[in-house]
Amino acid sequence: VCRRFLPNGQDLPLLGEVTITAEDRLDLITANALGDPEQFWQVCDANNAMNPTALTADIGQRLRIPQPQV
């Protein structure tokens, strides 16, 4: 187990933004934007979120989508 220091989401390079709709799920948003649903943690980091489910709870909320990290 390694400790990972969380970056400030505002400092990450931005790929784009997505507006949440009623049907959205974080894994589907991540798969569409980054090509891999398991990279949802990158979207969490970009939005300073500790709870991934909270990111899609509010319809109309805009999510920052970061450029993929290698």
Q: pLDDT tens, 18-45?
A: 999 999 999 999 999 999 999 999 999 9
**Residue 27 confidence (pLDDT):** 97
Q: Which two tokens stand for residue 36?
A: 């891999």
Full-model pTM: 0.87
Q: For residue 4, is pLDDT > 80?
A: no
CATH architecture of 14-66: Roll (3.10)
* pLDDT over 90 (residue 69): no
CA-nearest of 10, 67, 11 to 35 is 67
* pLDDT confidence of residue 2: 83
Cα–Cα nearest to 43, from 64, 62, 28? 64
- Check if the beta carbon of residue 7 is closer than 8 Å to that of residue 45: yes
Domain assignments of the chain as residue spans, ordered by start: 14-66
The encoded tokens of residue 24 equal: 């959205």
* pLDDT greater than 90 at residue 54: yes
Closest-CA residue to 7 (of 37, 42, 54): 42
